[in-house]
A and B are shown apart, each in its own frame.
Chain A
Amino acid sequence: EVQLLESGGGLEVPGGSLRLSCTASGFNFSNSAMTWVRQIPGKGLEWVSTVSADDGDIYYADSVKGRFTISRDNSKHTLYLQLNTLRAEDTAVYYCAKNSLGTVTSWGQGTLVTVSS
């Protein structure tokens, strides 16, 4: 069974930084592209970033480009998202998700990031 467990969320001031982690199990992590999707509480879903299985290809939404960095450690079965220069509009639940079949097929339970002074 695919399991994805996010951590690292919390309260941060505008301009601050956070690092989210996602620990994966139940599938071949090293062979899977991985994605972060976020959801403002009570609102819809927004794709944030995707990294290929070998870390060679990385993609970002325009809204986070230059501020967020996605990375992975295949030896630790862990996906990361470094959030810098945080803004109030980055407040959301951040989901880690496994890519397959061309889309995202499994999701973690999410970690809440709140940006407020």
Chain B
Amino acid sequence: EIVMTQSPATLSVSPEERATLSCRASQSVSSNLAWYQQKRGQAPRLLIYGASTRATGIPARFSGSGSGTEFTLTISSLQSEDFAVYYCQQYNNWPMYTFGQGTKVEIK
């Protein structure tokens, strides 16, 4: 099983500041990496797939980078609606997807 590890567990950021979230895979997943946003009481929403491609309707302030085992999600200027939990997910081992444990982005 490919283990996904996210850091940090919690990120405290002020509105309009930049947030950088990390995700590491236990073995190479190429660019088969997605990022999801989940707000309290809601289902996850796809933000990024292919490590760096924004899903339909996702604002340009969200960007993804990386390949192999190291990945980053950057939110360039945090808006109030961006405070949520973010999960990375590998789909290189389709369809046995594995998710990271999540990073909570909270208001500083």
A interface list, Cβ under 8 A from B: 33, 35, 37, 44-47, 50, 59, 61, 95, 99, 101-110
Contacts and interface: CB of A to CB of B under 8 A. Distances in A.
Contacts, number: 54
Given A44-B101, A45-B89, A102 B96 contact: no
B44 A107 contact: yes
A104 B99 contact: no
B44 A47 contact: no
- Which range holds the interface residue count of chain B? 20 to 34
Interface in B78-108: 87, 89, 91, 94-102
Given A103-B49, A103-B97, A45 B87 contact: yes
B100 A44 contact: yes
Nearest to B56: A105
A109 B34 CA distance: 19
Contacts of A45: 36, 44, 87, 89, 99
A49 B96 CA distance: 8
B95 A99 contact: yes
Contacts of A110: 43
19 contacts: A35-B95, A35-B97, A37-B97, A44-B99, A44-B100, A44-B101, A45-B36, A45-B99, A47-B96, A47-B98, A59-B96, A102-B32, A102-B50, A102-B91, A103-B34, A103-B91, A105-B46, A109-B42, A110-B43
Contacts of B49: 101-103, 105
Given A46-B99, A47-B97, A104-B46, 19 more contacts: A35-B95, A44-B99, A44-B102, A45-B87, A45-B89, A45-B99, A47-B96, A59-B96, A61-B96, A95-B43, A99-B95, A101-B50, A102-B50, A103-B32, A103-B89, A104-B97, A105-B46, A107-B45, A109-B42
B34 to A, nearest CB: 5
B3 interface: no
Contacts of B50: 101-102
